[in-house]
Structure 1
Amino acid sequence: MDLSWLGTPIGPMVRVHGGFANRLYRLDTDQGSFAVKELNLADRRAGYHAEDVFRLERAAFAAGIAMPEPIAASAGMLVHRWVEGEKVPEAPVPVAYAFEVGGILARLHALDVAWPHVASEEPTPGDWRELAARAAATGQPWAGELQAQVETFLAIARFVGACERPGPVVLTHRDIQPWNLLSRAGRPVVLDWELAGMLDLSGELGSTALSIAKGPGFDDIRPEVFHAVLDGYAAAGGGLPPPGPSWFVFMISGWLGFTRWNILRCLAGVEASTGPELALSHESVRGGVRGLPVLFGRLPELEELLLRR
């Protein structure tokens, strides 16, 4: 890729490891430091609307939302100004930080940005029994665990397909998780906008609030952090949708699809030239096979959490 327009390099471009879907590099030039992201177009789970996402990012940045400055976007590459900050661990964030995240979402949802794509969800795949059989036949290291949870995964797929989304549908980030956030002077910076698009508001709020209110599992969920996101959203002028399972269906659906995508990558057994390394796909499958049944089993507790003010 030709990046000469970013200035004269003052060192080699450096790979930054850890991405779950794409590959990230840091480039330092005489014009500054840049984050260069190589998009995985070979086996994406959904199409990527580069120009539309870039337009949303530019509007969000102009509105003062804390994020890396978007510099350029093409079908296979994104360039942003590099932002220094502390990584956010997978642990409950401070209440004040969560309150600010809620405010960021409200300001983002209030932007007037045209989005030509209709919000839609693909049918939830129900081939978990077949996938488990293929995993066993090919000796995948997590095959036994998947086989033991096949009925649960089929139940999860049925739930995702049947759960009603009350609306409204908003144009939003869609993936605010600890690994897509930085902390700069104790305040949030939102990274990785490439999955942005239309989403039911309850799904965005529930996914965001839960992800930053808990640790790696679901044994340490801080209600005060969860509700701080909602309080920040309301304080910034956002209206909260009614409580219900729809608050968590997007998180479950997204994790289900991500797990299945990684299962297919592992079954293919090929180290792809883009996207996550095969070892990371195996790690993601293990996380999904172990974590999704726990999350699904905790749905009644999570719905109760919504009512606990």
Structure 2
Amino acid sequence: MNLPHLGAPIGPMIRVHGGFANRMYRLDTDQGSFAVKELNLVDRRWTYRLEDVFRFERAAFAAGIPMPEPISASHHALVHRWVEGEKVPEAPVSAAYAFEIGAILARIHALDVEWTHVSIEEPASRDWPELAERAAATGQPWADELAFHVETFLAIAHFVDACERPGPVVLTHKDIQPWNLLARHGRPVVLDWELSGMLDLSGELGSTALSLAKGPGFDDIEPTIFRSVLDGYVAAGGALPPSGPSWFVYLIGGWLGHTRWNILRCLAGVEASTGPDLALSHEAARNGVRGLPDLFARLPELETLLL
């Protein structure tokens, strides 16, 4: 990567492991420290709208949203000012942290930013029987579990396509999850904006609130933390959409697509030059094969969080 606009390096660029879609590096120069995200150009699941996203980020940063300063965007790399902070574990956050995330979402949704791209959602894939056969034939470690849950994955795909979204549709981050957050002096910093775009409000609120209210599974959901996100949203001027399964369809659909993408990377059986390492793709595939059926079965239970 050629990054002369960031100044003269004072050391080598250092890989920061753990990215689920792209690869991240830290670069220290005579002009400061930067987070350089090398975009996966090989097998993206979608087209990044980098110019739109960068304009949205600049508006959010100018409005005081707690986030790394956006520096530059190109076809192959996104650059932000490096921010020191503590990683947010996949565990229920504090009520105060959740409340502030809700307020941040309301402020993001109130931004007046032109968004020229209208996304057209593709139907959820129905090739789960074929994927299960390929997984068995290639000896994938999670092949038996995938085969066992094929009918459930087909039911999930149908739910994702059939679930009604009540609106309104808002321009938003779309991926506020623990792994895209830092805690700096106990307060949130929002990272990784490249998925930004238009989204049904209920899907954004449900995905965010649930991710901050639970641990790695779904056995320790904290309803008070879920509600704290919504309370923060309302306190900052946001209005809640109607209750219903639409609050969780975006989370389920996103996880379904992410699981399938990682399964395909595992079936290829080679270490790709971009994107997550093969070991991380295996972890993501295994987590999805085990976790998605559990999440789908708990949908009625999750809806009670909205009452």
Aligned to 2:89: 89
- Specify the alignment match of 2:73 in structure 1: 73
**Structure 2: tracts of 5 or more residues without a match:** none
- Which residue is equivalent to 1:302? 302
Alignment-derived partner of residue 245 in structure 1: 245
Is 2:165 the counterpart of 1:165? yes
Shift of 1:4: 2.1
Work out the CA distance in 2 between the residues paired with 1:170 and 1:120.
15
* Contact 1:119 1:199 (8 Å CA) reproduced: no
The residue number in structure 2 matching 1:8 is 8
1:220 and 2:220 are equivalent in the alignment: yes
Deviation at 1:215, TM superposition (A): 0.4
**Alignment partner of 1:170: what SS?**
strand
1:287 deviates by: 0.2
Output the CA distance in 1 between the equivalents of 2:298 and 2:41: 35
1:237 deviation in Å? 0.5
State the AA in 2 paired with 1:73: A
Q: Distance in 2 between matches of 1:134 and 1:8?
A: 48
Q: Give per-residue Cα distances to partners, 1:226-282, cap 9 Å, x unaligned.
A: 000000000111110000000000000000000000111111112111000111111
Q: How many angstroms does 1:76 deviate by?
A: 1.0
CA-to-partner distance for each residue in 1:171-190, whole Å, 9 max, x for gaps? Answer: 00000000000000110000
> 2 CA distance for matches of 1:6 and 1:157?
44
SS in 2 for 1:212: helix
The equivalent residue for 1:146 is: 146
Cα distance between partner residues in 2 of 1:120 and 1:91:
33
Residue 36 (structure 2) aligns with: 36
Q: Does 2:129 correspond to 1:124?
A: no
Distance in 2 (CA, whole Å) between partners of 1:85 and 1:163 is 38
Question: What TM-score results when the alignment is normalised by the length of structure 2?
Answer: 0.99
Q: Which amino acid aligns with 2:272?
A: A
1:110-151 residue CA offsets vs partner (Å, 9 max, x unmatched): 101111111331111111111101111111111111001111
Amino acid at match of 2:31: Q
One-letter amino acid matched to 2:38: E
Would you say the 8 A contact 1:203–1:250 is kept in 2? yes
CA distance in 2, matches of 1:267, 1:293: 21
| Distance across 2 between alignment mates of 1:31 and 1:224 | 43
Secondary structure of 1:206's aligned partner: helix
Give 2:193's aligned residue.
193
What's 1:230 paired with?
A: 230
- Mapped pair 1:261 → 2:261: yes
2:225 is aligned with what amino acid? V
Distance 2:220 2:113 in 1: 37
- Whether 1:285 aligns to 2:288 is no
1:173-212 alignment, distance < 5 Å: 173-212=173-212
Partner Cα separation in structure 1 for residue 200 and residue 47 of structure 2: 19
Whether the 8 Å contact between 1:87 and 1:179 is mirrored in structure 2 is yes
The share of aligned pairs that are identical, in percent, is 80
C-alpha distance in 2 between matches for 1:90 and 1:193: 19
Separation in structure 2 between the aligned mates of residue 305 and residue 58 of structure 1, nearest angstrom: 34
Structure 2 letter corresponding to 1:292: L
Q: Counterpart of 1:191 in structure 2: which amino acid?
A: L
Aligned residues: 307
**What residue number does 2:155 align with?**
155
Q: Distance in 1 between matches of 2:27 and 2:112?
A: 33
Kindly report structure 1 stretches of 4+ aligned residues shifted beyond 2 Å. Answer: none
CA distance in 1, matches of 2:156, 2:37: 33
SS in 2 for 1:293: helix
Q: Post-superposition shift, 1:30?
A: 1.1
Higher mean C-alpha deviation, range 129-138 or range 56-65: 129-138
Looking at structure 1, the residues matched to 179 and 11 of structure 2 have their Cα atoms a distance apart, in angstroms, of 26
DSSP-derived class of the 1:255 partner = helix
Give the match for residue 27 of structure 1: 27
Structure 1: segments with no counterpart, 5+ residues: none
Cα distance between partner residues in 1 of 2:138 and 2:182:
39
1:153-210 per-residue CA deviation (whole Å, 9 max, x = no partner) reads: 1111111111000000000000000000000011000000010011000000000000
Q: Could you say what the CA RMSD is over the residues aligned between the two structures, in angstroms?
A: 0.6
- Aligned partner of residue 258 in structure 2, secondary structure: helix
